Chain A
Amino acid sequence: MIDRRLLQHFDWLFLGLTLVIGGIGILALYSAVNANADMTEVGRLVYVKQSYWLGISSGVMILLLLFSYRWLSRMAFPIYGASIVLLLTVFFLGKEVSGSQRWLVLGPVSIQPSEMMKISLAIMLARYFSESATKDGFSLQGLWKPLIWTILPFVLILKQPDLGTGLILLLIAGSVTVFVKIERRSLLCLTAAGIAVSGMAWFFLKGYQKQRISAFLDPQGDPLGAGYHIIQSKIAVGSGLFFGKGFLKGTQNALSFIPEQHTDFIFSVLAEEWGFLGSVTIIILYLLLIIWGLSVAVRSKDPFGTVLAVGLTSMIFWQTFINVAMVLALLPVVGVPLPLISYGGSSMLANMVAIGILLNISMRRFLFKD
């Protein structure tokens, strides 16, 4: 299955980049939970758990490399179907944590099927679009299927409720669709429809979600309520200055001013402790990861591989961009984790699987001809 040719084309640099980001994540987690006086004993161990997850995910990734990604094209429907079934299971049997029902408990681990859904959707769309793309782009007629495949899990995830993951799903689908081109008229129609729907969606948003958006627009309006997180995150980032306050020395983190400091706001911890220098370094590492993802798409001679690589790269891109922009108070607070760094097993696994598929596409790029 794996011959020497494949190993020769294996992208060691990319794997290294991934593991470096994951390693930075574990350091950041260590600081986030251990410098903080209010953290519980169990909480202090999340960096250990995250290391396990990084190890397990790497194993899954290597396992994935054994099979050609082409197999994913054939299995697109079963994978997508399984993901939908898992989402439905969560919907009926999921475990509720602080008001939302996102987790499936399997023995000692809890997983979030919505994370897997992102990849399943990318596979589905890659298969569909790669088979029927034309230079003229898709018309509305050609888009109704992908639209349904996207909307169905989106609604299920929104009901959990998990606006962040839902949005990422939409953004992946949107990115892939724009990538394979839509007719201008259809694009206008869809954009108009999108605006109308999001306008109406405002009425369906939960109270806390609306609050987050208005707090984003005017954080000083209620500095101790919803705007508190935004302001404290800005203070944490800004107070890092050029060189940062030093590892384990971030006061915003240590004294619990940063909310969700080991999950969605982990970048605040990094920026506070490692300053502009560290933050820019991390941003550039992500940029390299994404550019590499796009180069995989370019280098793949197989349309399915290209579109799938674009879809998976867009997933990493959007998560990174939205998370960092939120921490830097450029976007409202939505629960989107920072890939490979935020604490969370399912997110780690999903991102490592995505990178594994990208590696897979990359190492098998010469098996096809134009």
Chain B
Amino acid sequence: MDNYLHTVSNDWYRQRITGALVCVLAAFLILLARLYYLQIIEGPGLRQRSQDNWFRVHSVAPMRGLIFDRAGALLVDNRPRFDVSILSREARDPEGVVQNLSGLLDIPSEPLLAKLAEARGTPFFKPILLSRDISRDAVATIEAHKLELPGIVISVEPTRHYIEGERAPHLIGYLSEISPEELRSGALPDNSGGDFIGKFGVEKAYETYFHGKRGTRHVEVNALGQLTRVLKTEEAQPGKNIYLTLDIRLQRTAESLLAGKVGTALAMDPSNGHVLAMGVSPAFDPNAFVVGMTHESWNELVSNPFRPLENKAIQGQYPPGSVYKIVAAIAGLEEGVITEHTTLYCGGSYTYGNRTFRCWKRRGHGFMDATNALAQSCDVFFYQVGEKLGVDRLAKYARACGLGSPTGIDLDKESRGLVPTKEWKLRRLGVPWQGGETLSVTIGQGFNLVTPVQMLGLISAVANGGTRHKPLVIRRIEFPDGSPVEEQAPVSLGTLPASKNTLRVVRNGLMDAVNKPTGTGWIARIAGIDVAGKTGTAQVVGMPDDDDKKKKAVESIEHYHRDHGWFVAFAPAKEPRVAVAVLIEHGGHGSTSAAPVAREMIRTYLEDLGIKELKIDN
């Protein structure tokens, strides 16, 4: 100890230790203050968060209601869909596992790896969806190789299944993921993001019936999100089953008849307005929507020039062509501008002002009464009727026949059509009505636009004696146990503006159209059954000289310049059981394109009903 003064003593150490003690106390005070802050001040909030950590309310999707045809044939049900996902936390090497998976399932790995890359940053306990709707074979393969695929999980979800695929998709509709706008609208309070809801057709119109009621499951989960305990369950209530008015066999026939054509073929029970068939071509497979459609398939659907997603039966608007002569005949007879005995001369053309209006039959029909004029679709006869009526009186009858306004069918996006009037033209085009235009309108050309379902309603009303029914697509709604919710009763929209006698004249005309060799619908006759019908040919483009078009074979005319073919009919004439309306876009003449389709539909339906011999005794 050289320097005693500097040598440390116990007292010196004591001071240093007191300093250390102060430091220690200060440090522990910080810990205690922090504990107080976390457990007392922040405590209640953090208690809530610990609760949120483990408490989850799982929503249980209800089983969607089934769809049957009118006789109870199952058309749409729900099937299990297998989705394969990966839990990146358990996979350890997700890329490697995905490579393995793609090798085992023999599918390309790029899209799977892309999904994985997209999902980077999602919570580690959330499964990343790799592939939706894998096959049962793929499920089996994955199960067999579970050890080589750590973190791979398969989940099962109920998915809509349209059993016959492209069968009546425009009527049945499809499901698709609920959009943010639909969620916000509050119209579907029982739905949440990611749900699939009806987006089209009956699926959309009856969404609230199909949906049922969501159930809940209160569960406890651990930090991996795995379920550890179910605390409380409230079962989901399955949706209601719906029986369509559709006759699936007739629907199949209609669709097969439309194969390769663009158009629609409709059938209705004239006694109650039940839509028995709604064939629309081209069609689409609604199954493609329910698992999430790829961009390519969607683009293909929307860029298809024949608009497969359009329900041509209710959305399509076409000039009615000569089918409109039914309306013109009713108007003429009811307004007294003609009687059933009035005969007018057809020389093949009619001159109005300085314009010449041709009849489709250039040689002319000679003297015609209303029945013959309908049967042979004489244009000149109706030019004269139209001239006498004037467009506004004609329009009044057209409206009363249900044209120019939606039929109110329970399907989305129905068009209203167009019934031109003088006032309409002035308002819309700013040009006064030309008298000659009335003549075109009377034979169903010009500004006239109708939807096929309006034509169906018209012919059905003619068939049943004048009652206009709302077209019905739903026959009955049932609870899952089969007890009825609702039976759809026929809905009358009014009556045709026609007396019994007028209707008799019109029906006779339609009978002759099919059953006399001079009739335009001769091709639609069925041995042993009285079919009544009316052809129509709607001009699409006014060719420089209409005659050119008439001379040429349909096939030689450019597709979009071909006329639309119409045929409306009902049978048996005496006691009608079915009314049909067929429109073939750019099919050329109604008699050649649409009438055979109508004929086969009638034949199929009546044969199924067992009706063969109902011919009226002449």
Contact = CB atoms under 8 A, between A and B. Distances in A.
A256 B124 CA distance: 14
Given A242-B39, A256-B222, A283 B27 contact: no
A235 B28 contact: no
Interface in A222-279: 224, 232, 234-242, 251-252, 255-257, 271-272, 275-276, 279
B38 interface: yes
Contact of A256 (B20, B45, B223): B223
Given A134-B7, A276-B36, A294-B24, A255 B228 contact: yes
Which has the most chain A C-beta neighbours within 10 Å: B9, B24, B39, B220?
B39
A255 B17 CA distance: 44
Interface string B1-26: 00101111110111011001100110
A96 interface: no
Interface string B28-40: 1011101110111
Nearest to A321: B27
B40 A242 contact: yes
A235 B35 CA distance: 12
Given A136-B6, A239-B43, A239-B46, A283 B20 contact: no
Nearest to B122: A224
Interface in A133-161: 133-136
A189 interface: no
B45 A238 contact: yes
Contact of A279 (B3, B39, B47, B54): B39
Nearest to B9: A370
A370 B11 CA distance: 10
Given A135-B7, A241-B47, A242-B40, A297 B13 contact: yes
Given A37-B222, A224-B124, A303 B35 contact: no
B328 to A, nearest CB: 73
A136 B220 CA distance: 64
B42 interface: yes
B13 A298 contact: yes
B28 A283 contact: yes
B53 interface: yes
B221 interface: yes
Given A251-B50, A271-B35, A280-B32, A294 B17 contact: yes
A135 B31 CA distance: 33
Contact of B49 (A175, A239, A242): A239
Interface in B111-134: 123-124
A181 interface: yes
B148 to A, nearest CB: 23
A234 B223 CA distance: 15
Secondary structure type dominating chain B contacts: helix
Interface stretch (A6-14, A72-80, A324-332): A324-332
A183 interface: no
A70 interface: no
B224 A256 contact: yes
Contacts of B224: 38, 256
B34 A251 contact: no
A317 B24 contact: yes
Contact of B39 (A238, A290, A294): A238
Given A234-B46, A370-B10, A330 B39 contact: no
Contacts of A240: 39, 43
Contacts of A234: 38, 46
B38 A328 contact: yes
A47 to B, nearest CB: 21
B205 to A, nearest CB: 43
A287 interface: yes
A224 B123 contact: yes
A254 to B, nearest CB: 8
B72 interface: no
Contacts of A175: 20
Interface in A279-329: 279-280, 283, 286-287, 290-291, 294, 297-298, 301, 303, 306, 310, 314, 317, 321, 324-325, 328
A182 to B, nearest CB: 12
A271 B7 contact: no
A235 B17 contact: no
Nearest to A38: B222
B32 A238 contact: no
B20 to A, nearest CB: 6
A240 B49 CA distance: 12
B158 interface: no
Given A38-B222, A252-B50, A279-B35, A287 B28 contact: yes
Contacts of A257: 50, 53-54, 222-223
Contacts of A52: none
B54 A251 contact: yes
A276 B222 contact: no
A179 interface: yes
B432 interface: no
Which has the most chain A C-beta neighbours within 10 Å: B8, B10, B24, B38?
B38
Contacts of B10: 301, 306, 370
B26 to A, nearest CB: 10
Given A255-B222, A328-B31, A235 B46 contact: yes
B44 interface: yes
Contacts of B13: 297-298, 303, 306
A291 B24 contact: yes
Interface in B165-206: none
A238 B43 contact: yes
A279 B123 CA distance: 32
Interface in A188-247: 224, 232, 234-242
A155 B157 CA distance: 56
Interface in A23-67: 37-38
B51 to A, nearest CB: 8
Contacts of A241: 39-40, 43-44, 47
A132 B50 CA distance: 55
Interface in A319-364: 321, 324-325, 328, 330
B50 A324 contact: no
Nearest to B27: A321
A37 B39 CA distance: 25
A241 B12 CA distance: 44
A290 B20 CA distance: 10
A238 B42 contact: yes
A330 B33 CA distance: 11
Given A238-B45, A255-B228, A324 B31 contact: yes
B89 to A, nearest CB: 10
A234 B49 CA distance: 10
Which has the most chain B C-beta neighbours within 10 Å: A238, A310, A370?
A238
A253 B13 CA distance: 44
Given A135-B7, A275-B39, 10 more contacts: A37-B222, A38-B222, A179-B17, A239-B46, A242-B40, A252-B50, A255-B222, A272-B50, A279-B35, A283-B35
User: Which 3 A-B pairs give the minimum distances between C-beta atoms?
Assistant: A238-B46, A239-B50, A255-B222
Interface of A: 37-38, 133-136, 175, 179-181, 224, 232, 234-242, 251-252, 255-257, 271-272, 275-276, 279-280, 283, 286-287, 290-291, 294, 297-298, 301, 303, 306, 310, 314, 317, 321, 324-325, 328, 330, 370
29 contacts: A38-B224, A135-B5, A235-B49, A237-B46, A238-B42, A238-B47, A242-B39, A251-B50, A251-B51, A252-B53, A255-B53, A255-B54, A255-B220, A255-B222, A257-B50, A257-B53, A257-B222, A271-B39, A272-B50, A276-B39, A276-B40, A287-B25, A291-B24, A294-B17, A297-B13, A310-B20, A321-B31, A328-B38, A370-B10
